[in-house]
Structure 1
């Protein structure tokens, strides 16, 4: 995959504030596009500073660089099929579904519309007209675990998952494995919120972990995780962001973030589609493919030994010498 490029998030916000449409009314009459892209965002929608925003930025970049137009839908009520069918009716070249929660709906709609090409991000489908993209979240989370263990003074760190699902298990298990690799005596507290959209709940769970001496908290929980990060900042403890660089959320707490390079994936696949076809039916992206990674480390300084350890484990994961667990034992 192509290396991550710097994207300007302010473009998206300015566009949203201006109330502009993303589709044809903004284009000159008769404009011809190489591709028309539709996207159904995951539950938390735009403005999450993470998963959805990253995918949106990838499409914005594609719109700037390539001859494409795109439209999007949000489904906070869980009406995925309805939103997908609205996009199908617009005769899209490609329709993207974000998140494992949309998989059942996208497969149903794909089977009903076999000529329509779909892309499922964060799930694996065997339906013929659905291309699947999954990430090795455990590999990027392993690096976060190493950083957490090296910066923790209490010897206790925390993980907060959004829902009890395989994709979140990968975050959790990678984080635990990395932390214990760096410090075998580290204690890792782990809680599941059961919700991606409750900032107050995230703050409450973080408070419980802080009360148990956790001084580094890693949430993989959408808006719920934002609440946890803000609570960490309130108490002067460290945190890690997820999916995108979330340093801006809490600049006194976020040491680093596990990058899930959805923006790059979306851009590259749209680019491939414009140039020809997406030949592969499924992509699984980890450190070796530059699909996941670690944001800049701020606030906490790793000593030379810690920096060397972090670089060494990354090389060993890429080479296969370290195989990071992705499921609970």
Structure 2
């Protein structure tokens, strides 16, 4: 993979038209994909998952990939504007931070195909990958509500932004579905990479009698793990299988297989056609899930998750997949 890191000159080619687009986007002799990240990859492991999915697809299909890491949203807009005129088959970006810049650029360059991961942009030349995280977060809440002995559980989330409400609302609903009397405490770190503050919040929850504290704070989850080890409460991993970090306290991991979802969607573009629509993935598609229930893990079950607990979790998993119950998506009414 070739990384391109440079500042654009003052005479960006904003306003120039891109070449005509066909529904079959990978049509040239030398296929090319450009990944433009909204921030430095080192501060957000999720962005690395996007890159991994693109690289795997590109290597298997003999395609050329460039990756650019933006410093901020203004620079992201500049990069998107410039490269929309450079003849890439597909330009990829990701997260809610890219929404405004991508909407503006894609509106202007209607012949260029774009893909945004983890957010929705409603334009005919933008395909959007979104996830039903609230489904897996519901299962996490079911676990917390079912095993709590104090009837107090918590969640430490990164920021109070609409996207993260999928974690928060799903978790709360799961807890109260199996334990209506349980108290659910929620607080926000204010950043995606602040383990110290996340740890402080988790310790405060523990001292308020919470015996299960989930993290939805990105890098901040490592602070929650430290607090669990020190205070003795149970917790859960996020995005990846993190049970090995502390099997005594991390009971389960909520999974978000972004690399697999990106790879799968790019295959659809190659084998079928590019469509400017929302590709959404949940428990049914297996790009969202939890360890031990939807995805295997090398880590053994903690003694807290006995056969009865597994049966309860599997029961709700099957109900979600069959749509006997629907976990509301708080972003559904977005415009």
Distance 1:153 1:115 in 2: 58
- 1:90 shift after superposition: 4.7
After TM superposition, the structure 1 stretch with the greater mean CA deviation from structure 2, 224-233 or 39-48, is 39-48
- 1:80 shift after superposition: 2.0
Aligned to 1:21: 2
**1:181 lines up with 2:181 in the alignment:** no
Unaligned residue ranges in structure 1 (runs of 5+): 1-19, 24-31
- 1:151 shift after superposition: 3.3
Aligned to 2:77: 81
- 1:238 shift after superposition: 1.9
Equivalent of 1:253 in 237, 249, 252: 249
**What SS does the corresponding residue of 2:102 show, helix, strand or coil?**
helix
Contact 2:138-2:170 at 8 Å conserved across structures: yes
**What SS does the corresponding residue of 2:2 show, helix, strand or coil?**
coil
Change (3 A) 1:300 1:134: farther
Equivalent of 1:194 in 186, 190, 195: 190
- 1:159 shift after superposition: 0.8
Q: How many residues align?
A: 300
Distance 1:250 1:87 in 2: 44
**What SS does the corresponding residue of 2:42 show, helix, strand or coil?**
coil
- 1:189 shift after superposition: 0.7
Equivalent of 2:329 in 323, 326, 329: 326
Aligned to 2:127: 131
Q: How does 1:44-63 map to 2 (within 5 A)?
A: 45-46=41-42, 48-49=44-45, 51-63=46-58
Change (3 A) 1:256 1:85: farther
**What SS does the corresponding residue of 1:147 show, helix, strand or coil?**
helix
Unaligned residue ranges in structure 2 (runs of 5+): 5-27, 294-300
TM-score of the superposed pair, with normalisation by structure 1: 0.81
Change (3 A) 1:159 1:85: same
Q: How does 1:54-203 map to 2 (within 5 A)?
A: 54-78=49-73, 79-85=75-81, 87-88=83-84, 90-203=86-199
Distance 1:76 1:255 in 2: 36
Contact 1:39-1:97 at 8 Å conserved across structures: yes
Distance 2:40 2:196 in 1: 15
Distance 1:90 1:253 in 2: 50
